[in-house]
Structure 1
Amino acid sequence: MRAAAFLLCALLLGSCGPPRTLTACADPNNLPFSNRAGQGFENKLAAMIAADLHARLGYVWWAQRRGYVRNTLGESKCDFWPGIASNVEMVATTRPYYRSTYMFVSRASANLNGLTLDDPRLKILKIGVQMVGNDASNTPPAHALAERGIIANVRGFMLYGDYRRPNPPAEIVRAVERGDVDVALVWGPLAGFFAAESPVPLRLEPVTPWFSDQQWPMQFDVSVGVQKDNQKLLKQIDRVLARRKSEIRKLLAAYRIPLVEGS
């Protein structure tokens, strides 16, 4: 009798054991991407992937600073990262599930519409840019402005920010709200989400030209990353992204993520 029950269980479920656990790498304090409360769109995507693969979802929480990949996927502490640039060579990446762009963020009342990187107004405006450091790894807008000699009127906002505060990278958008800067060049998901939350009406426009000086792209594809030797999981997640494409688009829209046409 027990043998028959076991056989039936195996046929119906494949296994009577506990479901496997898939562990996501995520920042616990980085909306709109992720937080410990599971409120970010990458949290929702991670849950979607785990559910489709009949797995429990676990997390390894790590602040997204330098060394993030090395200390998470690189040390096999987690199985996948729900939001990594598609061309990062340290990991294997799925098909892109969105493409976004840096945005000009300004107060709507300032009437700064139609800005481009070559707009003469940028030479006199107070400008905020996201910074990584003082080396060649800085953000594309920081490099593009420096190439144009726009330096003295630029204020840098560290991409990592003050981690004692909620969602520290959002400080650059808050600076626009307060009027500390006239315009900021901000990565799209961050710009879209916090502009929608702002008590001050903000204007968002894509940074153009999108491929500045033939070396500083303003648009990037974003994928799910896994360890390079985990091709099985990579293919499984790829199938989830294809199967859930319309739901993922709705998820991104709910978080006001600016998407590049054709993504």
Structure 2
Amino acid sequence: MTFAASILTSSALAQNPPAELLQAAGAASASGAPQKVLRVCQDPKNMPMSDQQDRGYENKIAALMAQKLGWKLEHTWYPQRMGFIRNTLKAKLPDSEDYKCDVVTAVSTDFDLGLATKPYFSSTYALAYVKGRGLDAIKTPEDLLKLDRSVRDKLKIGIFARSPASDWLLKNGMTDQMVSFQPQTGDAEQYPGQLIDRDLASGKVDVAIAWGPIVGYFAQHAGGVPIAVVPFAPEADGIRYGFSIAMGVRHGDKALRDQLNAVLDASRPEIARILQEYGVPTVTIAPLAGKPGASS
């Protein structure tokens, strides 16, 4: 689950509250000075998060940030998998001292390859099943565990390998029912949502467990098949299912990080509406000590 254009110095940021930062950004855009650019690196084929046609919720949130700053939005596209940060945020353009981008979206708040902003949402893993196929009594993940063994032991449960979902099945003695999928196959034509809109909808698996935004979005886009979405608690029985999502900038780029924090704080209602449109299950998670977007 995959990871400088600054208009104010750190000292100026320290003297201006967020509202003034936003006013300053808008004034700079309207003054006739060269327009600033928000350069963002995102995955070109990773719905519902992002794609090259700007259809993902991370695309919409990045566009909102640029709009609020009064900056032009530019993209560099790169698959968000192993080596993503090395090849984007830390990579310079050919024959240039400029980096490919200054911001990456959809990183965790404990992002250690750069500086993380404040989180702009938190979500959790979710369980999904097709309504009307005998599982409608499941309203929480624990309800699945309470099913009669004659029913439960026959279920085929689709999950991504090495995830909280596999930990949950292992903890509850259900590994024999696990149908494991690789999250990163290297095949550009495959996408995580196939677990929901293809394999679950068709009956190849009876239950699917995946990252909540994937489950929520593809449950809405399964060709009319009615799919129930059942979120996990952010943490239960020693397993962490919930994660807070932030943007990342390079180490030392505190001014840009602080500007993004100001815009994120001012944009929370709009971000919430975007996430709701995409069916993202949101949860509340206590921030980690010292994370993220601290002034240090």
Normalising by structure 2, we get a TM-score of 0.76
In 2, the alpha carbon distance for the partners of 1:183 and 1:161 equals 21
Give the structure 1 partner of residue 205 of structure 2.
Answer: 181
Alpha-carbon deviation of 1:17? Answer: 3.9
Give the structure 1 partner of residue 264 of structure 2.
Answer: 241
Please give the per-residue CA displacement for 1:197-249, whole angstroms capped at 9, x wherever unaligned.
112100110125x42442x2111111111112111111001011111111111
In 1, the alpha carbon distance for the partners of 2:141 and 2:193 equals 22
Give the structure 1 partner of residue 145 of structure 2.
Answer: 119
Alpha-carbon deviation of 1:66? Answer: 1.5
Give the structure 2 partner of residue 128 of structure 1.
Answer: 158
Q: Does 1:260 align with 2:288?
A: no
In 1, the alpha carbon distance for the partners of 2:153 and 2:113 equals 38
Give the structure 2 partner of residue 55 of structure 1.
Answer: 71
In 2, the alpha carbon distance for the partners of 1:72 and 1:164 equals 19
In 1, the alpha carbon distance for the partners of 2:28 and 2:253 equals 27
Give the structure 2 partner of residue 21 of structure 1.
Answer: 37
Gaps of 5+ in 1: 1-10, 132-137
Kept in 2, the 8 Å contact 1:47–1:57? The answer is: yes
Normalising by structure 1, we get a TM-score of 0.84
In 1, the alpha carbon distance for the partners of 2:58 and 2:134 equals 33
Q: Does 1:196 align with 2:220?
A: yes
Give the structure 1 partner of residue 62 of structure 2.
Answer: 46
Please give the per-residue CA displacement for 1:93-130, whole angstroms capped at 9, x wherever unaligned.
11111111111011011242135267155543100001
Residue type at the aligned position of 2:141: T
Q: Secondary structure at the match of 2:101?
A: coil
In 2, the alpha carbon distance for the partners of 1:240 and 1:41 equals 17
Kept in 2, the 8 Å contact 1:72–1:78? The answer is: yes
Give the structure 1 partner of residue 168 of structure 2.
Answer: 144
- % identical aligned pairs: 30
Structure 1 residues 193 and 238: alpha-carbon distance in aligned structure 2, compared to 1, 3 A threshold: same
- Match for 1:251 among 268, 271, 274? 274
Residue type at the aligned position of 2:262: R
In 1, the alpha carbon distance for the partners of 2:28 and 2:181 equals 55
Kept in 1, the 8 Å contact 2:29–2:71? The answer is: no
Give the structure 2 partner of residue 5 of structure 1.
Answer: none
Kept in 2, the 8 Å contact 1:49–1:237? The answer is: yes
Q: How many correspondences in the alignment? A: 244
Give the structure 2 partner of residue 219 of structure 1.
Answer: 242
Q: Secondary structure at the match of 2:217?
A: helix
Q: Does 1:65 align with 2:81?
A: yes
Give the structure 2 partner of residue 100 of structure 1.
Answer: 123
RMSD (Å) for aligned C-alpha atoms: 2.3
Q: Secondary structure at the match of 1:66?
A: coil
Structure 1 residues 51 and 14: alpha-carbon distance in aligned structure 2, compared to 1, 3 A threshold: closer
Residue type at the aligned position of 1:241: L
In 2, the alpha carbon distance for the partners of 1:148 and 1:195 equals 25
Residue type at the aligned position of 2:213: P
Residue type at the aligned position of 2:127: F
Kept in 2, the 8 Å contact 1:161–1:169? The answer is: no
Kept in 2, the 8 Å contact 1:84–1:225? The answer is: yes
Kept in 1, the 8 Å contact 2:243–2:285? The answer is: no
Kept in 2, the 8 Å contact 1:24–1:59? The answer is: yes
Structure 1 residues 115 and 125: alpha-carbon distance in aligned structure 2, compared to 1, 3 A threshold: farther
Alpha-carbon deviation of 1:194? Answer: 0.8
Residue type at the aligned position of 2:119: P
